[in-house]
Amino acid sequence: MAKYEFKRTAQFKKSFDALNPAQQEATKAAFKKFKLNPFDPSLRPHKINRLSALRRRVVRSITIEGDLRAVFTIDGNKIISEDIGTHDIYK
């Protein structure tokens, strides 16, 4: 597998900090898998077409638990975690 560099935005940290403790724990567990393989099928990675169209770049989402999703983009070998939340548009 290609070697990835995992990055995040400042907003990602803000959104993470706003989650409740249980959601934060679930996110940490999911991101252990994510750092090994961002396309791990158990994370149900998928493209979000409308956000990708508006950004003119592919925006993907993984499922942390229930309605909680993290969105990320790829720039070269950088995997950029951009935001996390339960917004409908991230489904």
Which residues form the interface with another protein (CB under 8 A)?
A: 6-16, 27-28, 31, 35, 46-47, 49-55, 71, 73, 75, 78-83, 85, 87, 89
CA atoms of 55 and 42, how far apart (whole Å):
26
CA atoms of 70 and 39, how far apart (whole Å):
13
CA atoms of 34 and 78, how far apart (whole Å):
13
- Give yes or no for a contact between 82 and 71, defined as CB atoms under 8 angstroms apart: yes
| Minimum separation from the CB atom of position 10 to another protein (A) | 6
| Minimum separation from the CB atom of position 8 to another protein (A) | 5
| Minimum separation from the CB atom of position 15 to another protein (A) | 5
